[in-house]
């Protein structure tokens, strides 16, 4: 499909809710716009150590030639994804069960939920936009009218700008309650611009994509945590890839999200 590259607006505007730390306001933003931005969730030393840990894992993946291109990303684009973060550093476990994340999960899709992925998405200079999509792409249409089947959390590990490929969003597109189609009119998009440490929270029907990184030397690193109602299969296979020490020592919330606790569909004892 052809994607509008122009008219992304920055910051706030009529369709861009102001960043808020207030849960009720954030939930109202998600209902109205499909997304909300929570500022200063990671700060100071925690943000710095999380950034170091992410860049360390990227370097290791590249050194060990593990990088596998993701089908969403433009071919030959310098966009790198890093999987299975939960097993790679306790700092990433903390992101997966951050209290702000758990609050939104409970309110938007309910509890227990499943974590589908926690992955790094690093947009290097020259990286091209990924395909416009909604994250519940796996759900056959018509989608249920009651609400989203999942919720995504984008951790800004570096500053997000329009130029370095901050996530592009089609505000209110969640109300279409379907995937974008090739014959849709070109949608108006905004580029999320937010400082490192911000959290972008968007429900799974919202149309969005990684932006183009048109800078010469500014990297945009992010971590995306996607959660869904527990009857859907996670994209990452936690039973296969999780380190034994995480299974032994992870928090109850984490193990519930990964399927190690809740004795329902697809659980493991």
Ligand X SMILES: O=C(O)CCC(=O)C(=O)O
Chain positions contacting ligand X, by CB under 6 A: 121, 135, 167, 208, 210, 222, 224
Q: Which does 228 bind (CB under 5 to 8 A by kind): Fe ion, ligand X, none?
A: none
Who contacts 250 (Cβ-Cβ below 8 Å, separation ≥6)?
A: 93, 258, 260
Neighbours of 175 (CB within 10 A): 12
Quote the least distance from Cβ 147 to ligand X, whole Å: 19
Q: For residues 88 and 208, which CB has a smaller minimum distance to ligand X in the complex?
A: 208
Who contacts 109 (Cβ-Cβ below 8 Å, separation ≥6)?
A: 147, 148, 149, 150, 151, 227, 228, 229
Q: Which does 222 bind (CB under 5 to 8 A by kind): Fe ion, ligand X, none?
A: ligand X
Tell me the C-alpha distance between 109 and 88, whole Å: 27
Quote the least distance from Cβ 133 to ligand X, whole Å: 7
Contact status, residue 218 vs residue 34, Cβ threshold 8 Å? no
Q: Which does 121 bind (CB under 5 to 8 A by kind): ligand X, Fe ion, none?
A: ligand X
Q: Under the criterion CB under 5 A, does residue 61 sit at the interface with Fe ion?
A: no
Quote the least distance from Cβ 77 to ligand X, whole Å: 11
Tell me the C-alpha distance between 108 and 181, whole Å: 25
Tell me the C-alpha distance between 261 and 255, whole Å: 6
Whose CB is nearest to Fe ion?
Answer: 135
Task: Please give the size of the binding site for Fe ion, defined by CB under 5 A.
Answer: 1
Could you say which of 61, 73, 93, 135 contacts Fe ion (CB under 5 A)?
135
> Helix 99-108 crosses helix 23-33 at what angle (to 10 degrees)?
50
Q: Which does 167 bind (CB under 5 to 8 A by kind): ligand X, Fe ion, none?
A: ligand X
Binding site for Fe ion (CB under 5 A): 135
């Amino acid at each position: 499909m052809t994607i509008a590259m122009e008219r992304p607006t920055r910051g706030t505007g009529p369709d861009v809710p102001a960043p808020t730390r207030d849960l009720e306001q954030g939930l109202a933003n998600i209902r109205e716009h499909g997304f909300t931005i929570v500022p200063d969730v990671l700060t100071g030393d925690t943000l710095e150590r999380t950034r170091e840990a992410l860049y360390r894992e990227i370097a290791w993946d590249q050194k060990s030639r593990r990088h596998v291109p993701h089908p969403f990303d433009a071919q030959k684009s310098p966009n790198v994804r890093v999987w299975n973060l939960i097993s790679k550093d306790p700092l990433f476990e903390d992101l997966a069960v951050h209290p702000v994340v758990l609050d939104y999960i409970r309110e938007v899709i309910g509890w227990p939920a499943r974590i589908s992925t926690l992955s790094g998405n690093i947009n290097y200079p020259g990286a091209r936009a990924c395909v416009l999509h909604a994250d519940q792409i796996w759900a056959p249409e018509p989608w249920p009218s009651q609400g989203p089947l999942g919720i995504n959390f984008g951790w800004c590990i570096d500053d997000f700008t329009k130029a370095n490929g901050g996530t592009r969003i089609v505000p209110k597109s969640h109300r279409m309650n379907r995937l974008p189609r090739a014959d849709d009119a070109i949608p108006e998009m905004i580029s999320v611009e937010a400082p490192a440490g911000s959290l972008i929270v968007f429900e799974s029907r919202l149309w969005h994509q990684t932006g183009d990184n048109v800078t010469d030397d500014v990297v945009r690193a992010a971590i995306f945590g996607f959660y869904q109602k527990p009857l859907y299969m996670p994209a990452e296979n936690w039973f296969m890839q999780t380190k034994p020490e995480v299974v032994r020592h992870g928090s109850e919330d984490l193990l519930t999200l990964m399927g190690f606790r809740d004795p329902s569909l697809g659980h493991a004892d």
